[in-house]
Amino acid sequence: MLRYLRRPYEMDEMRVSDVLSGYMRMQIMQKTTVGRKPKKKIYHRVQELDRVMELQKKPSLILELKSIIQSASLLLRDLEKEVGFVQKWNYMAVIEKYPSIFRVIGGHVERTPPAVTLTEKAKMVAAMESEAMVQMEPILGRNLRKLLMLSVDCRLPLEKIELIASELGLPRDFKNSIVLKYPQYPQYFTLNELNGKEYLHLESWDSSLALTVREEKLALQTSNGDARRAKISIDGNFSGPFAFRLKFPVGFRPNVSYLEEVERWQKLEFPSPYLNVRRIEAADSKARKRVVAVLHELLSLSIEKRLTSGQLDAFHTEFRLPARLLLCLIKHHGIFYLTNKGAKSTVILKEAYDGSTLIDKCPLLEFKDKFSALIGRKESDASSCAEASSYIEN
C-alpha cells in the first residue's frame, strides 16, 4: 500500500527529488545515512479532480467563441485574425460539431462571405449574460478589494490582475467596466503609475472584509450548530478556530503518529492573512501556516476555486509566498491538489469540490452552465458548416 510521509507537517528536512507527469507522480525522499535506501513516496492522484480539467475543455472553447462573436456575426475569413492560424481549426471543429449553438450564414448560394453567428436559442441564453454580470458587480468589487487587502502594500500591478482576471470572473475591460465605474471610486480604488507600471491601489481599508472565507464558513457552521467534535477525527479534521478542512485521497489510511502531527498543526495559531506580513517573522511556524491560509484565500477568491501554478507564482512578491511553493502545496495535500490535466499545471482547492462538481457557483458560472448545456440540443445545420470548412481551406 502506498503511504505518505509519517510526519507531513515537518518536511523541512525533506526535498522533492523527482517530478514526473507534471506533479502526478512524485518521489519525496527523506535524508538517510549512507548505505540506507531512501523511502519512496507517491503523490496520489484524485481522478475526480483530474476530471474537472477534462470537463472544462469543450465548454471553454464554446464560451470563448461566443465572446468573439458577441451578438452579431463574424466573417469566417476574420476568425484567423482573432484567434490565430492554429486555434482557428479548433474553433472550426466546434462550429461544425455544435450546430445547436453556432450557425453559418452566407456562402456561395447567397453570394456573400460565409459568417458564423449564434442560433436563435443560443442568442436567447446569451442574453442572460448581462443580467448575470449585473449580479456579479458587487461580488467582483468586494473580491477585488479583498485581493488588494491581502497584498503587502495594498496595491497590485494592473498587468498581474489581468493575468488572473478571467479566473476572478472579471471582464476583459475590468479597468473601465468595474474599477472606474465602481460606485465608490475613487473612495476605494485609485490607479497610479509606479516605476513605469500601472498599479491598482486600495484607498480605504474595510475591517469587515478582513475575514477569510475559511473563517466565514466556520462562523456559519457554529451558528447552525454544525461544529465538529473537539477531538480530531480519523480524516484529520478538527473543530477549532485555526483548523483547515482536509480531504485526503480515497484509500489513504493515516496512522496514529500522522494524526498526532496533524492535530498539533490544526491547533496551531497563526496571524490573519490580512495582517501586514512585515510584522511577522518568516521563519516562525505560525508564519508558515499563515502562508497556507493566504493560498487558501487566493483560491477561494477565484470563481472556480483553482488557479494555475504559474499564476500563483507570479504573485510571490506581492503576497510573500514561499520560494519553494511546490513543496508547500505537496506538504498540504489534504487542502490543495496539483493536476496537469489541463494545458497548464493547476492548483485546486479540494474542499470546494464534491467529486468533480464545484459546490458553490456564482451567477456567472451558472450562466456559463446554461449556455454550455445547449451542447445536448440537436439542430441540423451541418451542410452550411461543411461549406464553411471548404471556404476556409480554399
DSSP 299-355: HHHSTTSEEEHHHHHTTHHHHT--TTHHHHHHHTTTTEEEE-SSSS-EEEEGGGEET
* pLDDT for res 76: 87
Angle between the 57-69 and 47-55 helix axes, to the nearest 10 degrees? 20
Predicted confidence at residue 388, as pLDDT, reads 42
- Nearest CA-CA partner of 232 in 257, 209, 251: 257
Name the region of 180 (left: φ>0; alpha: ψ -120 to 50; beta: rest).
alpha
Q: Quick one: how far is CA 229 from the chain centroid? A: 31
Q: Which pLDDT belongs to residue 224?
A: 63
d(CA 151, CA 318): 5
Amino acid at 153: D
| pLDDT for the residue numbered 22 | 41
Q: H/E element holding 160? A: helix 158-163
Q: Tens of pLDDT along the chain (394 residues)?
A: 334 433 444 443 333 334 334 444 443 444 444 445 545 566 778 999 999 988 888 888 899 999 888 767 888 888 888 888 888 898 999 999 999 999 998 876 667 888 999 999 999 999 999 999 999 999 999 999 999 999 999 999 999 999 999 999 998 888 888 888 777 778 888 999 998 999 999 998 999 999 999 999 888 876 665 555 556 677 778 888 999 999 988 777 778 888 889 989 999 999 999 998 887 887 789 999 999 999 999 999 999 999 999 999 999 999 999 988 999 999 999 999 999 887 789 999 999 999 999 999 999 999 999 999 998 744 334 344 444 444 444 4
Residue 227 makes CB contacts below 8 A (sequence gap 6+) with: 221, 239
Helix 213-223 to helix 285-301 angle, to the nearest 10 degrees? 90
Looking up cell 467582483 gives 140
Q: Which three cell numbers stand for residue 195?
A: 516605476
Residue 220 is predicted with a pLDDT of 83
Q: How far apart are CA 342 and CA 365, in angstroms?
A: 19
Answer yes or no: are the C-beta atoms of 292 and 273 closer than 8 Å. no
**First-to-final CA distance of the chain:** 58
pTM, full prediction: 0.82
Distance CA 228, CA 113 (A): 64
